[in-house]
A = this chain, B = another copy of it.
Amino acid sequence: MILSNACDYGIRAALYVATQRDRKFVPIREISEKLQISFHFLTKILQILTQANLMTSFRGPNGGVAFARDPNQITLMDIIQAIDGPGIFEKCVLGLSECGDEHPCPLHERWAEIREELRQMFQSNSLARMATKIQQKGFRITDYLGNPNSTIH
């Protein structure tokens, strides 16, 4: 609805890596299997994140991806902007050009507020903090609906 498919995948992958605290590099294959995302497609998406200097990668056995800096210092907004581009929170809800207070469309007033709330939602918590909440509260990052703590899955 607001984010591209690729962006959703990127976020979920980043959150998964964030939950793997003590590990150095997490293989993309593992992420793709756990989250049920196409391996090759996910690879491309994570390459965007490494090129944006949000993640690092390492080839060969024991390789994978990891955060380029402290996950306490990375937000979902960083990932969104890398994948869906900057400025997706600056667009007119009716698709008009030059969105701004000077040339308002009929929804401007309310939309500008909600857009700001969305922005806050995506940048108010770090990946590290979200990972903690995911584990403590059992939030899901996959389509799987069963017990998030089951070892089967």
A residues contacting B by CB (< 8 A) are 1-3, 5, 8-9, 11-12, 15, 88-89, 91, 93-98, 103-108, 110-111, 114, 117-118, 121, 130, 133-134, 137, 139-143, 145
Nearest CB in chain B to that of A125: its residue = B106
A91 to B3, CA, bound (A): 11
CA distance A87 to B13 in the complex (A): 26
B121:A114 contact, CB within 8 angstroms: yes
Q: Check B91 against A1 for contact (C-beta < 8 Å).
A: yes
Q: Are B15 and A139 in contact (CB under 8 A)?
A: no
Residues of B with C-beta under 8 A to A95 = 3, 5, 8-9
Q: Are B134 and A106 closer than 8 Å at their CB atoms?
A: yes
Instruction: Pick the contact of A105: B93, B98, B141 (CB < 8 A).
Output: B141
**Known pairs A1-B91, A96-B140; A118 contacts B108 (CB<8 A):** no
Contact A106 B130, beta carbon cutoff 8 Å: yes
Min distance, Cβ A12 to any Cβ of chain B, angstroms: 6
